[in-house]
Amino acid sequence: MAEPARRKPSITDVARIAGVSYQTVSRVINSAPDVSPATRERVLEVIKEVGYRRNRTATALVTNRSTVLGILTDGSPRFGPMGTLIALENVARQKGYGTTVVTVEEPYEDSVAKALESLEDAGVDGIIAIAPRVPLAAAVWNATLRVPVEMIAAGASSTPNVFTYSENQELGARMATQHLIDLGHTDIAHIAGSMEWFDGRVRKRGWEAALREAGLTPGLCLEGDWSPKWAYETGLRLVDEERVPQAIFAVSDHTALGLIRAFAEHGIRVPHDVSIVGFDDVEGSDYFLPPLTTVRQDFPGLAQASIDVLIGAIEGREVDRTPSVPTLVVRESAIPARLRAEA
């Protein structure tokens, strides 16, 4: 005779075992602030021990909320958008929310409006749009919206219908450039990304601002498509035209990779002949030759703050929207200018 199916633990079971009220467990599950750290930890331990999982259908009936968040993305395989998407899904799950992801494509005027409508029809509580490119953001701004919509777009401004959140990538670019300035370099070029990307715009702006604040005039700046191939070809051109600068702030680690290969093929040593700092801290950047000094983006932190901001909007409460801060990771691809001169 088959054993009866084991009953799934309920929120009441969690409350009984933890020695707290049903309402306290509910506040912990929904990340409400009015629970002491010790109580929160005890409740979370019990939830883990008994294997409690929130019943989204029951929650929706009680709260008139679906506990599902929509995510809109253009499906870009580039490091930033993909890292953001993965982190958002992970953090949403940790907070007890499901996610519905919709991918859009050009022309964005048509696909974005249909995607947002499909997410709203699916009953999501709110939507996060990962919008690295200006045309995609414009389509989101112009859409008719019925639920809170947050856009992750570096340096973009909020509108009455769409609020924005991002990591402070301009600060990251300033940090990268300032590192080269502190090493004594004065001829610091920027091998940039496309200005159709918000990331490319704010990273260029950070490079310019750091130089001007140091009393230096921004010099060589070449804009491309972010790919190692374009950066490699650009590096070859700089060698051929004898325009290799003292130092380079590369818009991404993949850009830095292409430059390093082009220079190496012509006997130009990094960092002894040219110092390079990247941006992103992609997996393996510490195994470049030489290991790359770069700016690390905190995708889990970005996702945590983004979802907190969206949930705050859903619940009608104000949440701190201060942009998250990247970190400069110093390795071996940049050295003091005086050592360059002596090499």
Q: pLDDT at position 221, please? A: 98
Q: List the domain range (segments joined by +) for residue 291.
A: 169-297+329-342
| 42 part of a folded domain | no
The tens-digit pLDDT sequence of the chain (343 residues) is 434 445 667 778 888 899 988 778 877 876 667 788 888 888 888 888 887 765 544 444 344 455 889 999 998 888 888 999 999 999 998 888 889 999 999 999 889 999 999 999 888 989 999 999 999 999 999 998 889 999 999 999 888 889 999 999 999 999 999 999 999 999 999 999 999 999 999 999 999 999 999 999 999 999 999 999 999 999 999 999 999 999 999 999 999 999 999 999 999 999 999 999 999 999 999 999 999 999 999 888 999 999 999 988 888 888 888 888 999 999 999 999 998 755 4
Which residue, 109, 140, 166, sits at the end of a domain?
166
| 122 part of a folded domain | yes
Let me know if 293 is exposed, middle or buried by CB neighbors in 10 A (0-12, 13-18, 19+): buried
Q: Would you state the structure tokens that stand for residue 59, as one six-digit string? A: 């929650």
Residues 174 and 104 in one domain: no
Query: At how many degrees (to 10) do helices 228-240 and 253-264 cross?
Result: 40
Residues 153 and 209 in one domain: no
CA 10 to chain centroid = 35
Residues 135 and 173 in one domain: no
| 291 part of a folded domain | yes
Residues 184 and 278 in one domain: yes
In this structure, which amino acid lies at residue 149? V
Residues 154 and 177 in one domain: no
Residues 186 and 252 in one domain: yes
| 3 part of a folded domain | no
| 13 part of a folded domain | no
| 127 part of a folded domain | yes
Cβ atoms within 10 Å of 341's Cβ, excluding its own: 9
Residues 337 and 233 in one domain: yes
Give the closest residue to 332 by CA, choosing from 289, 296, 297, 295: 289
* CATH number of the domain enclosing 194: 3.40.50.2300
Q: Is the whole-model pTM more than 0.95?
A: no
> Rounded to an integer, what distance in angstroms lies between the CA atom of residue 149 and that of residue 139?
13
User: H/E element holding 22?
Assistant: helix 22-29
| 324 part of a folded domain | no
Which residue, 112, 135, 166, sits at the end of a domain?
166
* Number of domains comprising the chain: 2
24-33 contacts, C-beta under 8 A, 24 or more apart: 29/54, 29/96, 30/96, 31/95, 31/308, 31/311
Residues 257 and 118 in one domain: no
Q: pLDDT at position 27, please? A: 78
Residues 218 and 85 in one domain: no
Q: pLDDT at position 55, please? A: 52
Residues 151 and 224 in one domain: no
> Rounded to an integer, what distance in angstroms lies between the CA atom of residue 193 and that of residue 56?
42
The count of C-alpha atoms lying within 13 angstroms of the C-alpha of 187, restricted to the half-sphere facing its C-beta, is: 9
Which residue, 123, 141, 166, sits at the end of a domain?
166
Residues 108 and 149 in one domain: yes
| 28 part of a folded domain | no
Residues 158 and 225 in one domain: no
Give the closest residue to 192 by CA, choosing from 179, 183, 182, 201: 201
> Rounded to an integer, what distance in angstroms lies between the CA atom of residue 53 and that of residue 44?
11
